[in-house]
Chains A and B, each alone.
Chain A
Amino acid sequence: MTEHVTIIMIEDDEGHARLIEKNIRRAGVLNEILPFTDGTSAVNFLFGPDGTAAQNAGRALLVLLDLNLPDMTGVDILKRIKENEHLRLSPVVVLTTTDDKVEIQRCYDLGANVYVTKPVNYENFANAIRQLGLFFSVIQVPKAK
């Protein structure tokens, strides 16, 4: 089941993306990772040209979302995912540098499943990602409605 989950990684910082990927792989997670470095291309992929996300209906997706994107804020993407009938059950992991309590609360209010702050301390960072990887390996992503 888990093998079919595709990880959508929306992260504008390529270094971060690389570090995240490395650590996910280290955790033994071999799922496909689709990286996006800006919000627009990610939204295009997720919701399709008609914006309904119909082409992703039934796909098992997990979204890794950075909040600080060059062209839009990740909060908007989160909101759209959670409001979309095809995507709203896909887990969204917010992975960002912001540890502002208000921001965290807002993300959870909008339906984020996990909120992870990127720590500067690499040990912690690697740990957090690896734990996420473990989390991915046990999580049951609903297929479709």
Chain B
Amino acid sequence: MTSLPFLEPLRRSRGFSQLAVLALGFVVLIAISAASIWLVNRAKEDAAQVSHTLRVENMLSLIQIMVRRAESAQRGYLLTGDASYLEFFEDTLAQVPPTLLQARATTADNPERQKALAALEPNVSQKLAELRQTVEMYKSGDVAGALKIVRTDRGEALMREITAQVDAMKDQEERLLAQRTTSSNQTSLWLLLVNLVGVVTIIGLAGLSMHLVQRNTAALRDAHKQVANANQSLERRVLERTADLQEANNEIQSFAYIVSHDLRSPLVNIMGFTSELEALRTDLFDRLAALRAKANDTDVARDEELGRDFEEAFGFIKASITKMDRLIKAILDLSRQGRAEFHPMPVEVAPLVENIGATMAHQLQERDATLKVGRLPPIVSDRMALEQIFTNLIDNAVKYLRADVPGRIEISASETPGYITYLVSDNGRGIDPRDKVRVFELFRRSGPQDRPGEGIGLAHVRTLVRRMGGAIIMDSELGRGTTFKVTLPRRMVQNAEEGKHD
């Protein structure tokens, strides 16, 4: 049958674009995820940098405070001589070097800061040394000396310098902090942007794919409709054709019927008047004999010769008429069978076949043959038709049994869900494979023509089986036997259009 060529490329292009959209969606998702992960990592780094800067700033402030605190403790001690100030002084002093060390370690990655710290450290040491010196002098009772050192302003200068250095460093750190904060903000912004773009893209792709799916569905629906339409028109066409065929078949049937019927009418005349002629001939010869006797003619041999010629001619005419009558009758029967109505009903096939066997018991016995009926499933079909089929097939089997072996005819069956195949097997003389099709044709027979018959039975069987919605085939081996396989629907459907005429 012709396929619908427009469906194929249509479906392929739709499928392709849909796949592309899906792939694109995945790619975008992966890209967004990768960018997000990268940006989040960067944001984390940025945050670490910021906190690092804050810590450094904090440390620098701490150093400054410690130096200031040490100075305050020294001043307090020098003013009051209170030992608690001394203790505080010592405590603070002890904390300075580790803090410095820590600051160095923290800024190990920054050479500029290292350099600045290196510059700061001697100033801090000097300042601390000056403080210690005054405290030691006060402790040893040299109060005036200590105060004198304090008054020199050297300590103050050192302090100013330290403050300036620390402030410079802090400024730098501030700048760094600002820089890092900006970078962190930027990263966050990027993250937001990437996610936004991703979301928009995904929504767009989803929309596109939805649109594609919708278009696809519409196309599919269209295609479905077209297929349905095509199916419908096909069905309509099949129905039309079937009706046409049915009509043609009916015409052939009635043609066969009328022809065969009308052919018989002249045949009756031919036969009748041939017989009349025969009677006439007898009269004629009687009269001839009488006339001859009157004329004293003794040529009896001549009369007898004429009589034989007459006899021969009549013989041929009569034999031909008889044969023609049989053939016409066969066609008539066949056409009648083509018109007969079927009445489907449940039929027990095994008893039906056994009955046929019983009616043929005499022929079976004559040919020394046995009929074995196997398990035959019941069927819903026309009983009369089944009887004719089995009668013809069994009759055939009996007719063509071999004379030299005991005949064996077996009826069996095999089944599928919708069909039952009945097998009629014999061990008869078999049929030449070349005649496999011919034997089913009207007036055709196979093998030696030594049995009575016109070659009608199998043609009848085939006509019946076909009309019942089945099929008949034959397996045979010359000299070994034949198996006819009749496949019939398990439930015969009554064709509404059939059997209306009659």
* A residues neighboring B (CB under 8 Å): 13, 15-16, 19, 22, 68, 97-98, 100, 102, 118-123, 125-126
Contacts and interface: CB of A to CB of B under 8 A. Distances in A.
A120 B336 CA distance: 19
B502 A102 contact: yes
A101 to B, nearest CB: 9
A16 B336 contact: no
Nearest to A100: B336
Given A97-B261, A97-B264, A120-B325, A16 B275 contact: no
A118 B268 contact: yes
Nearest to B260: A97
A4 B272 CA distance: 29
A102 B347 CA distance: 25
Contacts of B268: 13, 15-16, 19, 97, 118-120, 125
Interface string B254-278: 0000000110111111011111100
A121 B271 contact: yes
Contacts of B186: none
Given A13-B268, A100-B336, A125-B272, 13 more contacts: A15-B273, A16-B265, A16-B269, A19-B276, A68-B261, A97-B261, A102-B502, A118-B264, A119-B268, A120-B264, A120-B325, A121-B322, A121-B325
A39 to B, nearest CB: 16
Given A97-B261, A100-B336, A102-B502, A19 B322 contact: no
Contact of B271 (A68, A102, A120): A120
A110 B274 CA distance: 35
A15 B271 contact: no
Max chain B C-beta neighbours (<10 A), residue from A15, A122, A126:
A122
Contacts of A126: 275
Given A16-B268, A97-B265, A120 B321 contact: yes
B281 to A, nearest CB: 14
Interface string B15-37: 00000000000000000000000
A35 to B, nearest CB: 15
Contacts of B322: 120-121
Contact of B269 (A13, A98, A121): A13
Interface in B311-328: 321-322, 325
Nearest to A14: B269
A125 B269 CA distance: 11
Closest 4 CB pairs of A and B: A15-B269, A122-B275, A120-B325, A19-B272
B44 to A, nearest CB: 104
10 contacts: A13-B265, A13-B268, A13-B269, A15-B273, A16-B272, A19-B273, A120-B264, A122-B272, A122-B275, A125-B271
Interface string B455-487: 000000000000000000000000000000000
A48 to B, nearest CB: 30
Contacts of B336: 100
B261 A98 contact: yes
B263 to A, nearest CB: 9
B75 to A, nearest CB: 148
B327 to A, nearest CB: 11
B265 A19 contact: no
Interface string B338-374: 0000000000000000000000000000000000000
Nearest to A19: B272
Given A98-B261, A102-B502, A120 B267 contact: yes
A13 B262 CA distance: 11
Contacts of B274: 122
A123 B272 CA distance: 9
Contacts of B275: 122-123, 126
A22 B280 CA distance: 13
Max chain A C-beta neighbours (<10 A), residue from B261, B272, B336:
B272
Contacts of B321: 120
A15 B272 contact: yes
Contacts of B264: 97, 118, 120
A15 B268 CA distance: 9
Max chain A C-beta neighbours (<10 A), residue from B269, B321, B325:
B269
Contacts of A16: 265, 268-269, 272
A125 B268 CA distance: 9
A142 to B, nearest CB: 32
A97 B325 CA distance: 12
A68 B502 CA distance: 17
Contacts of A98: 261
A13 B502 CA distance: 26
Contacts of B502: 102
Contacts of B266: 15
A68 B325 CA distance: 19
Contacts of A19: 268-269, 272-273, 276
A98 B269 CA distance: 15
Nearest to A97: B264
Nearest to A13: B265
B270 to A, nearest CB: 9
Contacts of A68: 261-262, 265
Contacts of B271: 120-122, 125
A107 to B, nearest CB: 15
A16 B266 CA distance: 9
A122 B273 CA distance: 9
Contacts of A125: 268, 271-272
